[in-house]
Amino acid sequence: MTSAHEPTSARSPRKRLVLPMLAVYLVVSAAIVVGTAYWARDQAETAVRERSDSTLNLVIENLRGELSKFIYMPKLLSSLESIPRVLAAPTDRQSIDILTEELGNIANISGAQAIYLLDDTGHQITSSDGATPQPRGTASSADQPYFREAMQGRLGRHFGVDASTRGRSYFFAHPVRRQTSIAGVVVIRVAMDNLEPLWFSADSEILIVDEDGVVFLSSRPEWRFQTLNPLDTQTRDRLVREGRYAGQALDTLPFTDGPADGIARLQPPPGQSNGRPDTTTGTDFLVHEREMTDSGWRVLILTNALTTQRQVDTAIVAATSVLLIILLIATNIYQRRRRMIERMTIQEAARQQLEVRVLERTQNLTETNTKLRDEIEERHRAESELRTTQAELVQASKMAALGQMAAGLSHELNQPLAAIRSYAENAAAFLDRQRTETAKSNLTGIAELTDRMARIIKNLRTYSRNEQVAARPVRLQQAIHEALNLLEGRLTQSDITVVLDSPDNLPLVLAGDVRLQQVFVNLFTNAIDAMKDTPERSLSIRATSDAGGVQVCVQDTGPGVPAEVLENVFDPFYSTKDVGEGMGLGLSITHGIIRRFGGVITVSNACEGGAIFTVTLPRAELANEAAE
Ligand code: ADP
């Protein structure tokens, strides 16, 4: 069907659209994933920056706090009375001892690592930790920048490593003035080794770098005393001269990029330091730094880029998952829609097929209906024709029977006519002889004979009448008697003994008297015909009644009905008689009449020979009751 192809051709453009749409979706998805990655990186880096900012603040504040505790102390100390005294007499043991004790107490109270006094050449005169004074001319702090700055009349402050302990310290130095010149310097050493453990973090490193680019504080111990960038020779010489890093190699940290604000990549070092695998080598760091203007230091915080990368990865996975889910849902919806369209197409095709079938079936039905109506009309016509024919046949058969009866009838009528003639002749003769009485008796005889003839003629008239009235209660005996009267001539001629056994109180039956008479005329005629060649000729008519109805058995002494004929005797035009003797309609008409009265007729053969026809008719009162 054309309709079945339509949806297929309509679906093709949709199908063709799927691939381009998928391609567009993939491109858009890729763009979304890339965008998400950038956005996630941006977000993560912003978070890291914010975190780093606050960490930097904390570290700087912590450093400042630690150092600011001591910033005014050298100035205060320089105003102690005992210091100018010792500087004036640097060999006065007693004064030195007093000062040493005093400085020790102050160091203990303030938490300073050590406080010492240097003369104007940088030689240490005394120290709070009770170290013996350096003899003049031996190694001194003269080259230390803080000393030089103090000697220039301002507060000297510098970081340095203690040559003996390798401890990292911060030095504050303040000049001790005598009149206009500077006689010595008070130095306070503050330990800085205890700051780093506070900075420990799993994913970031904190570095404090001095103005020369040397990392002097670091949360990673192996990065200490390394430089961010290679040192030039001048700086390196100066640092060695100052002894600030106590002979440390000052290698350069293996950063390939930076580190400056942004990204730093740490290369694996040529040899693993002290055999320990460095878990951070080869990784990227996000670098944030801030300058401490008062000290010239830089504080750097290096956050492992893996932290942000992990967030980026998570965002990519999440975005990809969402896009995949959307793709799955879209695929699912598309497939559902396709299935639905297919289903609808099939249903539509089925509906159209059904419609066509219904149309065909309706057409067939209409045709069949028309045919049926025609057939019914035809049948009605045939039935009415049949009824007319049957009525004509009934009449014809009656006439035929009358014809058969004609011989007997003429005999019947001739006999009384002859008797009337002789009665009349005799009556005339008796009148002539004045024998009026005898003539009268003859005239009475004539009257009786005419009565008899009139009865015969009346019976004939009745029989030949075409009865149209409906069934009504009638006396069965009357019909039997009238039939016998009609056939009296033939019965006498054939020398047949009639035995009639009928109780007086036989109930009325529902029938028509003329038709009932015809029934018995047919049965008796057949019996007379059957006994044509039999020596003993007897016609027995026995009427009985029971609850079911009234039965009449008509039995003859003829040869009976042959077995092969039994089932055909009631068929129309079935006759075993010679042509001209029977039309084969008698029993068929009899059967039809009885059936119309609501009765039945059966045939059987008597054991001793002869046919028995049994007519059963409904009792009139029972039929009336049933009708009521
Ligand atoms: P018809 O008498 O014109 O042949 P019927 O219908 O009256 O037609 O009878 C049909 C046939 O039934 C008869 O030809 C006959 O063979 C058979 N038949 C009817 N009555 C008897 C009977 N009493 N005895 C033997 N045969 C009979």
In order, the DSSP letters of 328-381 are HHHHHHHHHHHHHHHHHHHHHHHHHHHHHHHHHHHHHHHHHHHHHHHHHHHHHH
Structural domain count, the chain: 3
Mapping DSSP to helix (H, G, I), strand (E, B) and coil, where does residue 290 land? strand
| Domain co-membership, 484 together with 596 | yes
- 575 Cβ inside 6 Å of ligand 1: yes
Helix axes 436-464, 476-486, angle to 10 degrees: 110
| Domain co-membership, 536 together with 619 | yes
Mapping DSSP to helix (H, G, I), strand (E, B) and coil, where does residue 502 land? coil
Non-local (6+) Cβ contacts of 362 within 8 A are none
- 610 Cβ inside 6 Å of ligand 1: no
In a domain? residue 142? yes
Question: CB pairs under 8 A, 24+ apart, for 27-36?
Answer: 29/320, 29/323, 29/327, 32/319, 32/323, 33/316, 33/319, 33/320, 33/323, 36/315, 36/316, 36/318, 36/319
- The boundaries of the domain holding residue 577 are 471-627
| Domain co-membership, 429 together with 488 | no
| Domain co-membership, 407 together with 519 | no
433, exposed or middle or buried, with CB in 10 Å at 0-12, 13-18, 19+?
exposed
Mapping DSSP to helix (H, G, I), strand (E, B) and coil, where does residue 215 land? strand
- 178 Cβ inside 6 Å of ligand 1: no
Tokens 């030089």 locate to 148
Cis bond upstream, residue 259 (ω within 30)? yes
What's the CA gap between 211 and 454, in Å, rounded? 174
| Domain co-membership, 411 together with 433 | yes
Residue 584 alpha carbon, nearest atom of ligand 1:
8
Mutate to test the pocket of ligand 1, among 404, 524, 565, 569 (most ligand atoms within 8 A of CB): 569
Q: What pLDDT does residue 271 have?
A: 43
CA distances (Å), origin 365, targets 95, 339, 352, 357? 143, 37, 19, 12
Question: CB pairs under 8 A, 24+ apart, for 151-159?
Answer: 151/120, 151/175, 151/182, 151/185, 153/182, 155/71, 155/74, 155/75, 156/185, 157/67, 157/71, 157/295, 158/244, 159/192, 159/210, 159/216, 159/244
Write the pLDDT tens digit of every residue in 95-105. 888 888 888 99
| Domain co-membership, 477 together with 446 | no
| Domain co-membership, 406 together with 536 | no
| Domain co-membership, 516 together with 598 | yes
- 510 Cβ inside 6 Å of ligand 1: no
| Domain co-membership, 431 together with 499 | no
Q: Where are the beta strands (DSSP E) in 70-145?
A: 114-119, 124-127
For the chain, residues with pLDDT lower than 50 are 1-10, 136-138, 268-277, 627-628
| Domain co-membership, 412 together with 496 | no
In a domain? residue 389? no
575 alpha carbon – ligand 1 mean position (Å): 6
In a domain? residue 573? yes
Residue 522 alpha carbon, nearest atom of ligand 1:
7
CA distances (Å), origin 500, targets 504, 531, 542? 12, 17, 6
Non-local (6+) Cβ contacts of 95 within 8 A are 82, 85, 86, 89
* Domain termination site, one of 129, 163, 191: 191
In a domain? residue 66? no
* Domain termination site, one of 144, 175, 191: 191
Q: Is the pTM of this model over 0.75?
A: no
Q: What pLDDT does residue 453 have?
A: 83
We report the CATH number of the domain holding residue 88 as 3.30.450.20
In a domain? residue 523? yes
- 577 Cβ inside 6 Å of ligand 1: yes
Residue 576 alpha carbon, nearest atom of ligand 1:
14
> How many C-alpha atoms does 444 have within 13 Å on its Cβ side?
6
Mutate to test the pocket of ligand 1, among 537, 573, 575 (most ligand atoms within 8 A of CB): 575
Q: What pLDDT does residue 132 have?
A: 57
In a domain? residue 282? no
Which residue has the least CA distance to atom 14 on ligand 1? Answer: 575
| Domain co-membership, 176 together with 103 | yes
| Domain co-membership, 450 together with 484 | no
Residue 58 CA to its chain's centroid (Å): 63
In a domain? residue 613? yes
* Domain termination site, one of 457, 481, 496: 457
455 alpha carbon – ligand 1 mean position (Å): 28
Q: What is the biggest distance separating any 2 CA atoms in the chain, rounded to whole angstroms?
A: 236
In a domain? residue 391? no
Q: What pLDDT does residue 275 have?
A: 42
We report the CATH number of the domain holding residue 553 as 3.30.565.10
